[in-house]
Structure 1
Amino acid sequence: MEEQLQYKSLQVKQKSPGSGIFYLHLNRPTRGNALSLDFFTEFPAALSSLDRNPNAAVVILSGAGNHFCSGIDLQVISYFQSDENQSTDSARTGEWLRRNIKFLQRAVTAIEEFRKPVIAAVHGACVGAGIDLIAACDIRYCTESALFMVKEVDLGITSDLGSLQRLPGIVGFGNAMELALTGRRFSGSEAKELGLVSRVFSNMESLEEGVAQIAEDIAAKSPLAVVGTKRVLIQSRDMTLDQGLDYVATWNSGVILSDDLTEAISAQRQKRKPKFSKL
């Protein structure tokens, strides 16, 4: 089981036995949950394990301690700058760097490749790579006191883990450009105005309770419908309208005539809650 696996940068919990909700905590609270090299191996591995677990229906991503994520650990940047990883041939150094950047990117993209919904619950700071993470999540919520920054420009680098690609589709191109070029702080309430988060909660306790209830509501729905909805939305994002319609027609031709459809209709007729098999 996932909760028995040991990670250096993460913690996976199922708070209620029998619940389809699993909690994936960034777990380096003394470092503000800065993303270490271990994270980029452990995070996709944890998601892969949860993806195979039929008991996991929804994942809530949050941070242990006072912050969601303070960005990428500076030790990761130092690793890329170290002399032992440099070649006298600039082309070989560049190829090595590109290959490793792609490795880091895959850890974040793993959220989108994960079949089931991932909900980000943000408190405290969500900076730099933290924005990369939540931009890849399916739904985002935060506390009023949360603060956000697309920080990379202040470190002399171009954000390369997904914020520049995903944020424009979430907050609009102009807003994404302004946030990324200025690197300014913005609040939970502004994140809601921009559309980065769907709802702002007054404090940590209400955030945890509210997100847990939302996750439970999603977990009670047809897993085939939930998985299909996520996949079709993500695929259609980069398609024309006609391509997106063709994709969902192909998807539904394979799954629409399911036991879940029969159960959903029966439950509505009988005015009861439906019960779906695990996926």
Structure 2
Amino acid sequence: MTTMSAPVDVLPDLVSLKVALDGPVAEVTLLGPSKGNAMGPDFWRELPQVFAALDADARVRAVVLTGSGKHFSYGLDLPAMMGGWAPLLAGDALAGPRTEFHTEVKRLQEAVSSIAECRKPVVAAISGWCIGGGVDVVTAADIRLASADAKFSVREVKVAIVADIGSLQRLAPIIGEGHLRELALTGKDIDAARAEKIGLVNDVYEDQETLLARARELAAEIAANPPLVVQGTKQVVSATTERQVAEGLRYVAAWNAAFLPSKDLAEAVQAFLERRAPEFKGE
């Protein structure tokens, strides 16, 4: 497998992602650089650039998306991303800070949606932890596979946030509304066996090496089919769902811009930084 320079030949030097090409299959690997491939500013800037380039590159017919190291992603890199939230935590956020936050949420949403909007089918290969923003990302993929050690969590409720980057919109067609409500309202962790049972992942493999081999084989199987028909099939299957997703994303961006600022959010952030359990009061 050779590293690509980028239309994938016009990509700038990447920090948070690595892109490699093996015949018609591109492989995108999350690099971090934060622990557990946490998603900081570099990731949110680079993700839409990479998937726009993959969409435009005629050589690419399918994509494998995975994480480096033991984990797919710990999700949003809170310390790295908190700077833009500071005005909301001050207590009296007016229209200006709320508008800026709304714009930022939409930017992150569009970054994740670049995966769903890429005409090339995307196979997510998930090992270890896949938390919060990691779930947003894999639900935007077409097919999800996991290794036996994979664990998933829609954890935003535990940090006083309504998940707003795509999980609440994309999970229901995948796992059903009942399972979505359970995961999103509890913030609980589920293992790979439960994820397979509810349809979050198609198959579970014994280890990361086997998982990656199978993901590459599946992507190659897709890539062997007529490319325009494959792309058309993805677009037709996604047409109704993505219209509903777009409406839901608009709604949650507006909702969070209006209601996110709270004492509970400030408490969640402080508890995170102090590595203690938060005490929520509904304020």
Q: State the TM-score, normalizing by the size of structure 2.
A: 0.79
Contact 1:9/1:42, CA 8 A, preserved across alignment: yes
Counterpart CA distance in 1 for 2:161 and 2:30 is 24
Aligned length: 237
Matched with 1:10 is: 17
1:112 matched to 2:116:
yes
Q: For residues 70-94 of structure 1, what are the alpha-carbon distances to aligned partners after superposition, in whole Å with 9 as ceiling and x for unaligned?
A: 0100134412233599897601111
The one-letter amino acid paired with 2:15 is K
Q: For residues 40-79 of structure 1, what are the alpha-carbon distances to aligned partners after superposition, in whole Å with 9 as ceiling and x for unaligned?
A: 1101001111111111111111000110010100134412
Shift of 1:117: 0.4
SS of corresponding position for 2:37: coil
Matched with 1:202 is: 206
Change (3 A) 1:176 1:83: closer
Alignment match of 2:230 (pick from 214, 226, 231): 226
Alignment match of 2:52 (pick from 45, 48, 53): 48
- Runs of 4 or more above 3 Å deviation: 83-89
Alignment match of 2:150 (pick from 146, 151, 154): 146
The one-letter amino acid paired with 2:215 is V
Counterpart CA distance in 2 for 1:208 and 1:238 is 27
Match runs of 1:76-87 below 5 Å: 76-83=80-87
The structure with the larger Rg is 1
The one-letter amino acid paired with 2:109 is Q
Change (3 A) 1:87 1:156: closer
Matched with 1:179 is: 183
RMSD: 2.1
Which runs of 5 or more residues in structure 2 are unaligned?
Answer: 245-283
Counterpart CA distance in 1 for 2:38 and 2:243 is 34
Matched with 2:66 is: 62
Contact 1:115/1:227, CA 8 A, preserved across alignment: yes
Change (3 A) 1:86 1:62: same
Alignment match of 1:100 (pick from 78, 97, 104): 104
Higher relative contact order (CA 8 A, sep 6+): 2
SS of corresponding position for 1:75: helix
SS of corresponding position for 2:27: strand
Matched with 2:254 is: none
1:39 matched to 2:7:
no
Q: For residues 3-38 of structure 1, what are the alpha-carbon distances to aligned partners after superposition, in whole Å with 9 as ceiling and x for unaligned?
A: 774211111112x3xx10111011126510010111
Q: For residues 210-261 of structure 1, what are the alpha-carbon distances to aligned partners after superposition, in whole Å with 9 as ceiling and x for unaligned?
A: 1111111100000011000100011033679xxxxxxxxxxxxxxxxxxxxx
Which runs of 5 or more residues in structure 1 are unaligned?
Answer: 241-279
Same amino acid, percent of matched pairs: 36
Match runs of 1:151-170 below 5 Å: 151-170=155-174
Change (3 A) 1:84 1:135: closer
Counterpart CA distance in 2 for 1:166 and 1:158 is 14
Counterpart CA distance in 2 for 1:216 and 1:71 is 28
